[in-house]
Structures are given as structure tokens and as C-alpha cells.
Amino acid sequence: MGANSNLYALLEQRFIEAGDQPAFSLPGRAGLSYAGLLERVGRFANALRELGVRPDDRVTVQVEKSLNNVALYLAVMKVGAVYQPLNTAYTTAEVDYFVGDAEPRLIVTDPVRRAAMDDLADKHGVPAVETLDAQGEGSLAELAASMAVAAETAHRGPDDLAGLLYTSGTTGRSKGAMLTHRNLSSNALTLKDLWAFAPGDVLLHALPIFHVHGLYVALNTAFLNRSEIIWLDKFDADQVIAQLPRATLMMGVPTFYTRLLGHAGFSQDVCGNMRLFISGSAPLLADTHRQFEAVTGHKILERYGMTECGMITSNPYDGERVPGTVGFPLPEVSVRIVDGEGRPVAPGEVGMLETNGPNRFKGYWRMPEKTAEEIRPDGFFITGDLASMDEEGRVTIVGRGKDLIISGGFNVYPKEVESELDQLPGVRESAVIGVPHPDFGEAVVAVVTSLPNVVIAEPEVIERLAQRLAKFKVPKRVIQIGELPRNTMGKVQKAELRKQYGDLFSTVA
């Protein structure tokens, strides 16, 4: 057997070295040292084994952010199983699909959802359901507390799965991106060096941990550095400003930065200890970049990535951080910009961004045809993002080839929302678009036509959709019109609608 490629084996080594140093500090609450984290992960690993979780089994987790949630994430890797985190905003109808597709051995849910998850477990033959609440309490925590601390770390190969993270599809259902231990380790090791993590760094963590950004990018890099992590349940500008003076770096989506800039208590003074602000998951407006520099003296470091590949490009730590660009391909990561036929375009020209490297996912879970459609025979993944690359290799994302809205860093596929809208009584057709929004970057807006003589009641539509779809996917506005604009081929002209409703939120502060 070769060396153990389990990412947890690498992290565990760092935790042992860190010993009593703080791993997590929680404002106003008890924190956790690295030695404490190590113990907790051991107990959770034993609990998972007790529940019958074996290597390669999936563990579906839809719980609020807590330290026990972190211990669970690490314990799933430790036992060699596959972590499937789900956005806490997903409704039971949405979770139904993820559970049916992933066929987990265990579902971990919030106690308030226990009954609904028990039903789903029955439906899909999932043997075990356990709970963790927002404080990290629940049946799984109780079981873990009764377990021994010592637990073996499973041996994993580089191509074994560590995570199964779902991304919505342009058409059809969500796809599970299979992320391997190599994918996660290579990205974390690269980013730790690229962003110059050093002893003494303190990370302010306010992102959710059910997506790549808050889970893998933020946690794994900080863990590799044995950093203290200031742990906030969610982004709250007051709390962030209160904690910033003790932090040295923060990662966030653009909404974090626009909200900070809009807060009266935000100033250069609170950033006195900071060395790095990182932004990603959605485009950071060049204006926000400049305003932030004017207020704080810091140039936000923007990087670009996606669920399937983790981080792909980054602005330099040392060197020019250019507003509106996402920097250079990471070491060992290849990026090319190609035309419709897959031929490289000239520097500066716009095309589809394709990428390959040790960070590139293994494929879509149980969807070999989708995998073959999106990963070319030479290994390059077709991202769906339109970009250009200059002579030096600096990348600018200029748009999306795929019909995707990114609202506050969360992805929304219009098709999914349109399918739900079209099922509502009285709705004839719908077109869902993203329009500029001062807080979320883009906001979801539905334009609908009705059956004859029907008046669509906006609040009612919003309420009906909220029962089926996660809140962030629910349109902020529903607008009824006579006919959807179409081109001569009969295709709905979304660009026309985006133009027409482009300033819907421009007066919202």
C-alpha cells in the first residue's frame, strides 16, 4: 500500500503539531483547540463507524454551521466516506432528489426536519438518520460523546472520493461533482502557499460551510496553516466589524464587501491587523474593488473557481491585483480559452474557458454521458464561463455561456425556477432572468404570461414557490406581461428582458 492520500491524514498531522493552539474562537462562546478538535473528530469517526458508515459510503449533511458540523465533515473523511453537504435553504422536495441520487448510508439533519428526513430515508432505503442543531447538539453529538477518542484514519488513494457536491444543471437535474482526495489536497496546498499563509494568521470565517468556498477553500487552507479561525455563524456586518481587528485574513463573496462598505462602522481602523481580503464565487465589480481600496487601503484579491474544480485562477499575492480580472491560472492548473469548435482563440479574445489539473473533479456521479459531454478526451473541463486571457496569461471573466444567475454567491438555474412557475395555476409561460441588484449582485426576477383573463398575484406566486424552492432561488419580483419577446426562431429573448428590467432594483439602497 502506498502513502495515505486521505486529506484528513494530512490535516491530522497538522492538528497534532498544533496541539493546544486555538483552532476556533467563537465570540462570546467557548472555542476549541486543535487538540480538542482532534479528539472530537475521533469521537465522531467512531460514531460514524458505529452507525455502519464504511469507506465510499455517502453521508448526506444538511445542518446549520457549528463546530460539530466541522468535526463531522472531518470525521467523514477520516473513515474514508464521502461528504455530501447540502445548502440549509433547500426544501424537503429538493433534498428528496439529492438523497435519492446519492443513496447515502446516513443522513444528518436538523432536529426540526427529522420527521421529514425519516420519511425520505424510508422512501430511499437510507439505513440511518441522526441530528445536529445550530448549536451542534443532537443525536449524533450524543452518540459521539459516548465514543472513544482514538480512531484509525482510513487509507485512501488519490482518486478515491472525499466529497460529492451538487451543482444545478442548465437542463435537467442537479449533478453530483465527485471530488477526490487529490482534488482537495492539491488545491488546499497550492492556495496556502499562493496566498502566503504564515504562522500567526487568523482567519475570519463568516461563509456557509455547505459549499466549496467556505468548506474547502477557507477551512482546508487555514487547517494546513494551523491557523486560528474566528467562527461566525453567518455573515453579519456588525459582527464582522467587531471581529476584524483580531483577524489577518477573510474570504467572502462580493456581497460581504458591498455590505461592509455600506456600514457606517467600517473603516481603515478596524482593518489594522488585516493582511488579505479575498473575494470569489461571483464577479466583484471593479467599482467595489476601488471603493474598498479607497476606504481601507486594501486591494481585494479576487480569484475564480467552481464546484467541479475548486479554485482555478487567482490574482497574485505579490504583484498587481487588477480590478475586474481574476488573475492567473494556479500552479499546475491549465486554462485555455477556445472558440465554438474548441480551437484556442487569440490573446484578448473572448471564448469558453476550459481547464484541467489536479483540482479537476473525477466526473459527475452516475452520469457518464454528462461527464463525457463536459470533460473533453484530453481532460479539459468545459466550465461554461466566457472569458479572455491576455498575453501574460491574466484571465477576465466576461460572462456565462450557461444560463445561470449568481445571487449573493449562490447559483440559480432559471430552468429550475421556470419549471416550478409553469406548474402554477393560471401561468402560461415564464422566463426567469438575473438583473443587477445592489446587495446580491444579481437578483432573480420572473417574467410571466397568464392564461386568458387571469391576473397573476405576485405575493401568492412567491409564497407558492417558497414551499418548493430554496429561498435564494425564489424570484424577488414576479412581473406579468402580455407576451414574452421572441426571436424569429421562437426562442425567448432573455437579453431583451434583462435590458427592460435592468434597473428594477437600481433605486433600492
Report DSSP state, residue 327. Answer: B
Question: Which one of ligand AMP, ligand MCA, none interacts with residue 79, CB within 5 to 8 A by kind?
Answer: none
CA distance 40 to 35: 9
As given in the structure block, the three cell numbers for residue 478 are 414576479
Question: What residue number has its CB nearest to ligand MCA?
Answer: 408
Residue window 408-427: x/- pattern of binding to ligand AMP, with contact defined by CB under 6 A:
---x----------------
The runs of H, that is alpha helices, within 51-180 are 67-78, 92-102, 114-124, 139-145
If the CB atoms of residues 46 and 307 are measured against ligand AMP, the closer one turns out to be 307
Q: Does 311 bind ligand AMP (CB under 6 A)?
A: no
Question: Which one of ligand AMP, ligand MCA, none interacts with residue 383, CB within 5 to 8 A by kind?
Answer: ligand AMP
If the CB atoms of residues 140 and 397 are measured against ligand AMP, the closer one turns out to be 397
Q: Does 354 bind ligand AMP (CB under 6 A)?
A: no
CA atoms within 13 A on the CB side of 363: 14
Smallest distance from ligand AMP to CB 125, Å: 29
Which residue spans within 273-394 are E strands per DSSP?
A: 276-279, 301-306, 310-314, 328-329, 334-338, 351-356, 363-364, 381-389
Please, which of residues 481-500 interact with ligand AMP by CB under 6 A? none
**Interaction site with ligand MCA (CB under 6 A):** 207-208, 211-214, 234-235, 253, 255, 280-281, 305-307, 407-410, 440, 471-472
Residue type, 286: A
Concatenating the DSSP letter of every residue in 461-504 gives HHHHHHHHS-GGGS-SEEEE-SS--B-TTS-B-HHHHHHHTTTT
- From the list 87, 81, 21, 20, the residue with the least C-alpha distance to 51 is 81
Question: Which one of ligand AMP, ligand MCA, none interacts with residue 208, CB within 5 to 8 A by kind?
Answer: ligand MCA
Residue window 258-297: x/- pattern of binding to ligand AMP, with contact defined by CB under 6 A:
----------------------xxxx--------------
Q: Which of 307, 355, 356, 396 lies at the binding interface for ligand AMP (CB under 6 A)?
A: 307
Report DSSP state, residue 155. Answer: P
Q: Which of 5, 167, 296, 356 lies at the binding interface for ligand AMP (CB under 6 A)?
A: 167
If the CB atoms of residues 80 and 280 are measured against ligand AMP, the closer one turns out to be 280
Q: Does 355 bind ligand AMP (CB under 6 A)?
A: no
Residue type, 202: V
Question: Which one of ligand MCA, ligand AMP, none interacts with residue 385, CB within 5 to 8 A by kind?
Answer: ligand AMP
CA distance 221 to 189: 7
Interacting residues of 480 by C-beta distance below 8 A, sequence separation 6+: 447, 448, 449, 450, 455, 456
H/E stretch holding 430 reads: strand 427-437
If the CB atoms of residues 80 and 363 are measured against ligand MCA, the closer one turns out to be 363
Q: Does 304 bind ligand AMP (CB under 6 A)?
A: yes
If the CB atoms of residues 178 and 207 are measured against ligand MCA, the closer one turns out to be 207
Q: Does 253 bind ligand AMP (CB under 6 A)?
A: no
CA distance 45 to 57: 13
Q: Does 326 bind ligand AMP (CB under 6 A)?
A: yes
Residues contributing to the site for ligand AMP (CB under 6 A): 167, 212, 280-283, 302, 304-307, 326, 383, 385, 397, 400, 406, 411
